[in-house]
């Protein structure tokens, strides 16, 4: 269910994300100006964050290195910045 997400991706754009770890499948769903990201991995040792970055970058059609986690390292609500 990961399809291209239509968001403005200028440098410095911040993207609000709600993460659901331990989901049954990996998916990115757009809900207005917020994205919901479902990942199958557990939230231990940054594994879920790494999976979110990988999945989000693929959905946005950009390189993983262009996404920076700004807020929410250990929270379900996260904010990423496009560099």
Distance CA 81, CA 15 (A): 6
**Residue 2 clears pLDDT 80, i.e. is over it:** no
Task: Please give the pLDDT value at position 12.
Answer: 84
CATH number, domain with residue 50: 3.30.1200.10
* 3 falls within a domain: no
* 36 falls within a domain: yes
* 76 falls within a domain: yes
Our count of domains for the chain comes to: 1
Q: Sign of dihedral through CA atoms 21, 69, 10, 65?
A: negative
**Domain of residue 64, residue span:** 16-82
Long-range pairs for 29-38 at CB < 8 Å and ≥24 separation? 29/1, 30/5, 30/6, 35/5, 35/7
* 53 falls within a domain: yes
> What confidence tier does 31 reach under pLDDT thresholds 50, 70, 90?
confident
């Amino acid at each position: 269910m990961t399809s291209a997400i239509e968001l403005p991706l200028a440098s410095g754009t911040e993207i609000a994300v709600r993460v659901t770890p331990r989901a049954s499948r990996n998916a990115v769903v757009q809900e207005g100006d917020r994205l919901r990201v479902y990942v199958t991995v557990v939230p231990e040792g940054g594994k879920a964050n790494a999976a979110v970055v990988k999945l989000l970058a693929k959905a946005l059609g950009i390189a993983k290195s262009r996404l920076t986690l700004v807020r929410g390292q250990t929270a379900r609500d996260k904010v990423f910045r496009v560099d």
